[in-house]
């Protein structure tokens, strides 16, 4: 029996290429295609496919946001989750994260042999996981672990913050050690993350959400628009009216203001 599948990708050429490869592999019935995260959720709920090929990077709502929304509905009693195969341009470290969490992936540009391998892996899981259209028993726990790893914590679970964070730098999504982060800043709803080597963006929507993922012993909200790594402060500079600025250890030696409400904390940190 053919596996029912959806292809979700904002690039039409990518959808056409994957559809062509799936047709050549055989045994997969592509029932619909979507171009964004909103369409993905609607199509999954309409068709209840066995398998979804899901692009990670899409405008508006990315692939992980799609999974988050589906999992929330699943906990509320909706239908079981399908299997997911991610289409991504992740670097080798993030690809290892998929391997650890037993969730399959395809790197762009697609390779026919790799597409065949992904389909066979899902076919094997369907064979051991119950009737067609139902995810394997541990599929949701695998996705839970993946989302936690990729900066999307599940509200019901509290624990130690992850040692690494995902930072998007151009077309790459990099796993970064927290110790390497100099500071994070928010501007017009976009969180910029600056390390000593490069600059990128966080998937978090607010600094409060980002702070939940950071080590509280290392990171400090020095200003409403900035979170700094205490270990990456290069210089504390007195400013006007008994205020201070911080010069950070990034390439630009960025200067960050300390809010008046945080001046006392600064003095405690460095015995000023």
pLDDT digits (tens, 9 = 90+) for 68-78: 788 777 766 65
pLDDT value, residue 137 = 46
Mean of per-residue pLDDT scores for the chain: 81
pLDDT value, residue 56 = 77
Nearest to 247 by CA among 232, 261, 266: 232
C-alpha Rg value of the chain to the nearest Å: 22
**Residue 246 or 56, more confident:** 246
Whether 28 contacts 2, CB under 8 Å: yes
pLDDT value, residue 1 = 78
**Percent of the chain at pLDDT exceeding 90:** 38
**Residue 272 or 222, more confident:** 222
Domains of the chain: residue spans and CATH: 3-149 (3.40.50.2300), 167-270 (2.40.50.1020)
Whole-angstrom Cα distance, residue 266 to residue 219? 12
- With H, G, I as helix, E, B as strand and everything else as coil, classify residue 256: strand
pLDDT value, residue 78 = 57
Whole-angstrom Cα distance, residue 105 to residue 221? 36
pLDDT value, residue 192 = 94
Q: Residue 11 pLDDT more than 90?
A: no
Q: Residue 136 pLDDT more than 50?
A: no
Q: What is the mean pLDDT of residues 104-116?
A: 84
| Poorest-pLDDT segment among 39-48, 88-97, 162-171 | 88-97
The band of 131, judged by pLDDT with boundaries at 50, 70 and 90, is very low
pLDDT digits (tens, 9 = 90+) for 163-187: 778 898 887 888 888 999 999 999 8
**Residue 161 or 88, more confident:** 88
Kindly tell me the burial class for residue 68, based on how many C-beta atoms sit within 10 Å of its own C-beta (0-12, 13-18, 19 or more): middle
Q: Residue 79 pLDDT more than 70?
A: no
Q: What is the mean pLDDT of residues 244-267?
A: 92
pLDDT value, residue 185 = 95
Structure tokens at 254: 């960025």
Q: Residue 98 pLDDT more than 80?
A: no
| Poorest-pLDDT segment among 52-56, 68-72, 100-104, 240-244 | 100-104
The pTM of this model reads 0.52
The band of 150, judged by pLDDT with boundaries at 50, 70 and 90, is low
Structure tokens at 69: 């929304």
Please report, in angstroms and rounded to a whole number, the separation of the first and last CA atoms in the chain.
72
């Amino acid at each position: 029996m053919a596996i029912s599948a959806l292809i979700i990708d904002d690039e039409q050429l990518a959808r056409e290429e994957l559809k062509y490869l799936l047709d050549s592999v055989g045994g997969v019935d592509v029932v619909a295609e979507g171009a964004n995260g909103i369409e993905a959720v609607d199509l999954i709920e309409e068709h209840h496919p066995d398998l979804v090929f899901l692009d990670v990077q899409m405008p508006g709502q990315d692939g992980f946001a799609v999974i988050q929304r589906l999992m929330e509905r699943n906990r509320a009693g909706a239908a079981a989750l399908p299997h997911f195969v991610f289409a991504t341009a992740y670097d080798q470290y993030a690809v290892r994260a998929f391997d650890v969490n037993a969730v399959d992936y395809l790197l762009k540009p697609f390779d026919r042999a790799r597409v065949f391998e992904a389909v066979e892996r899902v076919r094997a899981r369907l064979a051991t996981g119950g009737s067609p259209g139902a995810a394997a028993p541990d599929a949701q726990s695998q996705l839970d672990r993946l989302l936690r790893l990729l900066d999307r914590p599940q509200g019901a679970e509290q624990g130690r913050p992850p040692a690494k964070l995902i930072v998007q730098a151009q077309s790459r999504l990099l796993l970064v050690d927290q110790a390497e982060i100099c500071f994070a800043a928010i501007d017009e709803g976009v969180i910029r993350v600056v390390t000593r080597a490069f600059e990128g963006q966080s998937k978090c929507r607010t600094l409060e959400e980002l702070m939940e993922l950071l080590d509280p012993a290392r990171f400090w909200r020095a200003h409403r628009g900035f979170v700094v790594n205490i270990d990456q402060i290069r210089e504390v500079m007195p400013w006007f009216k008994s205020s201070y600025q911080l010069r950070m250890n990034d390439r630009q030696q960025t200067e960050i203001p300390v809010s008046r409400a945080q001046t006392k904390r600064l003095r405690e940190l460095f015995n000023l």
